[in-house]
Amino acid sequence: MTLLRKAGASWLPIYAGLYLLFLYLPVLLLPVFSVNASAIPVFPLKGLTFDWYRSLAGNDALINALWNSLLVGVASALLATVLGICAARAITRYRFRGRRPMTAVIMAPLFLPEIIIAISLLMVAMQLGLGLSLILVIFGHVLICLPYSATVLISGFEGFDPSFEEASADLGETAFGTLTRVTLPILMPAIISSLLVSFTISLDEFIIAFFLSGSEPTLPIYIWGQLRFPAKLPGVLALGTLMLLASLLLLTFAEMLRRRAAKRTQLDGGFHA
């Protein structure tokens, strides 16, 4: 029995290491080939160059797509987080009939192919005679960000002791004062974390933007267009590397905030009998 356990204990870390390698290797190829002097991404490498990065600057179509993506990302993140706050607060604070089915509907986009969300919104827009636009993309992105934003916020709100707000009211503060002096400051890390996660999802999303963005491409749509031309691949790899770095920074920041929030509420909630 102990033998078996030992075998398991040594086998698992090796497996975990290989698995991480499988997850990371393809991703790490992007930065490697983005500084390779050859236009064709094959080994052996031909030498170091930053030409591909230089070619990105001054590309108007790219800059335009970037702005579109930022606009969509910020708007989606804000809207998804506001809706996520309502949902997370209702779910963590109140017990009511219909809570589970309603939550399930909000979480549903997690279990649906994005193509359904994309084509159904497309059809509604056409039916109503609305043109395709970034606004539609935002509506779609909010939908797919909501399950993530709600999950992040629920875990952040769970440690929030309802007595904090009661204590504030008890000490003479109004409902609005309680919101600004107690509730928001305590929940801020979770809220920022939700904003960052939603922004990142929106920034990377392709399918919904593909169907709904019309003549205003987002960054992934721009990249998709470039992929048709093999000569442009290294430039795309350079762009991908930059996006990777941006995502990484945002997510590390989000994770740090989440942990700080967890630590804070954990320690504070720890004294219940």
Partner 1 sequence: MLDTVSAASKPMIEISGLRKSFGNFEALKSISLNVQEGEFFSLLGPSGCGKTTLLRLLAGFGEQTAGTIAIDGQDMTGRPANRRPTNMVFQSYAIFPHMNVEENVGYGLKRLKLDRQEEQRRVREALDRVELGALGKRRANELSGGQRQRVALARALVMRPKVLLLDEPLSALDKKLREQMQVELRHLQKAVGITFILVTHDQYEALALSDRVAIMFDGQVAQVGTPKDIYQNPVSRKVADFLGGMNFVDAEIAEENGVSLTLDAAGFGRVRAPKPQGYQSMGRQITLGIRPERLRVLWDDDQAEHQIGGQVIDRHYFGEVTQLIVEIPGFKAPLAVTETNDFGADDIPVGSAIRLAYDPDALVAMND
Partner 2 sequence: MPFAGTRPPARRPRWKRLDPEEVRGIRLLSPTFLYTLAFLVGPVLLVVAYSFWTQTYLTFDHTFTLENYRVALTEPIYRDLLMRSLYISFIVSLVTVIFAYPIAYYISFHGGSRKSLLLFLITIPFWTGYLLRVMAWKVILGYKGVLNTGLIGLGIVDKPLESLLFSSTAVIITLIHAWAVFAILPIYVSLEKLDRSLLEAATDLGDGPVRRFLRVTLPLSMPGIIGALLIVMIPTVGDFVTPKLVGGTEGQMIANAIQIQFGKASNWPLGSALTITTMMIVTLMAGASVLVLRSLVRWMR
Q: How far is the CB of 184 from partner 1 (least distance, A)?
A: 10
Residue among 194, 203, 191 nearest 70 (CA): 203
Is 263 an interacting residue with respect to partner 1 (CB under 8 A)? yes
Count of residues that bind partner 2 according to CB under 8 A: 85
Is 113 an interacting residue with respect to partner 2 (CB under 8 A)? yes
Q: What is the DSSP letter of 181?
A: I
Cβ-Cβ contacts under 8 Å for 236 (sequence gap 6 or more): 223, 226, 227
Q: Please say which residue, 43 or 271, places its beta carbon nearer to partner 2.
A: 43
Please choose which of partner 1, partner 2, none residue 271 contacts, taking the beta carbon within 5 to 8 angstroms, the exact cut-off set by kind: partner 1
Contact with partner 2 (CB under 8 A) among 70, 90, 135, 179 = 90
Q: Is the peptide bond before 44 cis (omega within 30 degrees of 0)?
A: yes
Please choose which of partner 1, partner 2, none residue 133 contacts, taking the beta carbon within 5 to 8 angstroms, the exact cut-off set by kind: none
The Cβ of residue 231 has, within 10 Å, a number of other Cβ atoms equal to 9
Give the amino acid at 87: A
Q: Give residues 156-195 in contact with partner 2 (rule: CB under 8 A).
A: none
Q: Give residues 124-163 in contact with partner 1 (rule: CB under 8 A).
A: 161, 163
Handedness of CA 147, 153, 156, 157 (dihedral sign): negative
The Cβ of residue 22 has, within 10 Å, a number of other Cβ atoms equal to 9
Q: How far is the CB of 157 from partner 1 (least distance, A)?
A: 14
Angle formed by the axes of helices 184-204 and 134-158, nearest 10°: 140
φ/ψ of residue 36, rounded to 5: -85, 140
Please choose which of partner 1, partner 2, none residue 158 contacts, taking the beta carbon within 5 to 8 angstroms, the exact cut-off set by kind: none
Contact with partner 1 (CB under 8 A) among 172, 215, 228, 231 = 172
Binding site for partner 1 (CB under 8 A): 161, 163-164, 166-174, 177, 181-182, 185-186, 263-265, 267-269, 271-273
